[in-house]
Amino acid sequence: MPRINLLPWREELRKQKQKEFGIMVGLAGLAMVGIIFLVQVQIGQMIENQKRRNHFLDEEIAKIDKKIKEIKDLEKEKENLLARMNVVEQLQTSRPEVVHLFDELVTALPDGVYLTSLVQKGRSITLEGYAQSNARVSSFMRNLDNSPWLTSPDLKRIQAVTRSDLGSVRLSRFTLVVTQTKPKAKGDEDGEGAAK
């Protein structure tokens, strides 16, 4: 005779499957929590690593900024030294020009003319003085124009005055401007001619 199972096996099977389903959901939940934890740990490590790299880069940038500042300071110091060297070179170059200027003035000054003032601004020289006549001023200007160190004499003012301190002598008071130049050396002219 066949056996008939009258126990509620379907209900037990359903409970069994629900129990297994609950265990699977619990394991899946635990696995998900574990994965999320591992991902957070990994992301945290990546963030820490990036922070360390950023800190290293900030330190290196600060070092480079300091070096750039030092280089700029050195460049300023170099420019100042070059400017000083240029001034010294210009002074060395122009030192003999003063000697030539006074030598040429003495050579160009005719008898009966004397200077009371000499003012130099750059290459322009303003001369003031007295002459016994206008002709002597003209002679002085011709002598200045013939000088290799002085050129372009320009008479700004001439007037007749009486000097009582010299015994009521009638003189011509004059002001003229002349330009100081450098004469070209013969080697310079030959070099220009050869270049042409």
Q: Report which residue type is found at 121.
A: K
The predicted-structure confidence for 100-119, as pLDDT tens digits, reads as follows 778 888 888 888 888 888 88
CATH number of the domain bearing residue 161: 3.30.70.2830
DSSP-derived letter for residue 164 is G
Residue 192 has pLDDT above 50, yes or no: no
The predicted-structure confidence for 9-60, as pLDDT tens digits, reads as follows 778 888 899 999 999 999 999 999 999 999 999 999 999 999 999 999 999 9
Establish if 80 belongs to a structural domain: no
| Total number of domains constituting the chain | 1
CB 189 within 8 Å of CB 183: no
Establish if 130 belongs to a structural domain: yes
**By three-state DSSP, how is residue 110 classified?**
coil
Establish if 121 belongs to a structural domain: yes
Establish if 140 belongs to a structural domain: yes
Establish if 88 belongs to a structural domain: no
| d(C-alpha 85, C-alpha 89), whole Å | 6
Give residue 117's domain range.
109-184
Least confident among 94-98, 124-128, 146-150: 94-98
Establish if 116 belongs to a structural domain: yes
CB 93 within 8 Å of CB 132: no
> For residue 186, what pLDDT is reported?
53
Return the bridge partners of 34, or none.
none
**By three-state DSSP, how is residue 125 classified?**
strand
Establish if 36 belongs to a structural domain: no
| d(C-alpha 55, C-alpha 59), whole Å | 6
CB 151 within 8 Å of CB 178: yes
